[in-house]
Amino acid sequence: MSLIHIENLSKHFKVLNRREGLGGAVRDLFSGDYRTVEAVAGISFDIEAGEIVGYIGPNGAGKSTTIKMMTGILKPTGGVIQVNGLTPYENRIRQAQIMGVVFGQRTQLWWDLPVIESFKILKEIYKVDQKTFGDHMGMFNELVGLKALYSQQVRTLSLGQRMLCDITASFLHNPQVVFLDEPTIGLDISIKAKIRSVIQELNSKRQTTIILTTHDLGDVEALCKRIIIIDKGKILYDGDIKQVNALFGAYRTLKLQIDDFSESTLRELRKKFDGRFSGDHGITVAETEEFWTDVTIDQARTHLSDVLSAVMTNFPVYDVRIVEISMENVVKQIYDGALE
């Protein structure tokens, strides 16, 4: 039987429709004007022991809500959810013993205490024996040199150091499954790489099942064999990363800042590309934020350098950035049928 079994799971929230301004705030005091938000709208999947699964999607897709249902914090509105054969919501305390959780934007460590104190408290909370505790801390010390941080107050740690400590903490009681919710958010490249290698190491050494939520497609490419993509509470894709990888890999977005930008600039760009590249060239143009124009290129069909030179020679470009495809764009491509 699979470690995590989810079937037609849904979660609805009732949200108060808030009005604008001071007058609106006062009227809201007596308002009964609620709307229902479907954060998770009927999803199903199974996860086997030992897997690393990337659970990804744009902001507000329902990722964290799913995680909170798997950890037993939230009660599902409907459907079946089982972790290790038990319903998390009904067995929260028992289930917590076999789970580890990292919420990237919050810490589970005691903010005002030295790092080592937090580990000692968690050791008591999870009833970890002295030997296991020593082995675990020794292993982490080897992996990331944690010892140097022991006497530092948690609030004085850098974001990257804190994240390493948080990950250590979540593996302390040797859980069967660890949920990592945005573990690399706001971190620089080198610390991201370190965190990825630590996660990889732990998964292979201990066979810990890992469910990774992230915005960073780099994390997913580095760690996961399988990904589940969710948007608007529904699963868009569940399967091998290889198929989707082509999608991530092939697309690049050229971000352009063009002098004297106007509505017609977008039209001119499209016209220029249609003229220069024949047939189905796979280039899309869109204005994303003020003054910035995004040109997304499918490198399987058109070379980035050709597009770049076409732009540079014909438009007064003030600034250029080349970025890997964003989560939002991947989701858009899937909707447009890129995986079919």
Measured from the CB of residue 101, what is the shortest distance to another protein in angstroms? 4
Length of the chain: 340
Measured from the CB of residue 127, what is the shortest distance to another protein in angstroms? 7
**CB-nearer residue toward another protein: 169 or 283:** 169
Measured from the CB of residue 59, what is the shortest distance to another protein in angstroms? 8
Measured from the CB of residue 47, what is the shortest distance to another protein in angstroms? 18
Q: Please answer whether residues 154 and 118 qualify as being in contact, where contact means their C-beta atoms are separated by less than 8 angstroms.
A: yes
**CB-nearer residue toward another protein: 117 or 328:** 117
**CB-nearer residue toward another protein: 101 or 198:** 101
Measured from the CB of residue 146, what is the shortest distance to another protein in angstroms? 19
At what angle are helices 263-276 and 304-314 packed, to 10 degrees?
Answer: 130
At what angle are helices 130-144 and 189-206 packed, to 10 degrees?
Answer: 140
Question: Where on the chain is the footprint of another protein (CB under 8 A)?
Answer: 13, 60, 62-65, 68, 71-75, 92-94, 96-97, 99, 101, 103, 105-108, 110-113, 117, 120-121, 124-127, 153, 181
Measured from the CB of residue 25, what is the shortest distance to another protein in angstroms? 13
The DSSP-derived string for 248-313 is HHHEEEEEEEETT--HHHHHHHHHHHHHHS-S---EEEEEEETTEEEEEEETTTS-HHHHHHHHHH
Q: Which of 328-333's residues contact partners 24+ apart within 8 Å by CB, and which partners?
A: 328/58, 329/251, 329/253, 329/296, 330/217, 330/229, 330/244, 330/247, 330/248, 331/57, 331/58, 331/229, 331/231, 331/236, 333/247, 333/251
**CB-nearer residue toward another protein: 175 or 295:** 175
**CB-nearer residue toward another protein: 177 or 258:** 177
**CB-nearer residue toward another protein: 77 or 141:** 77
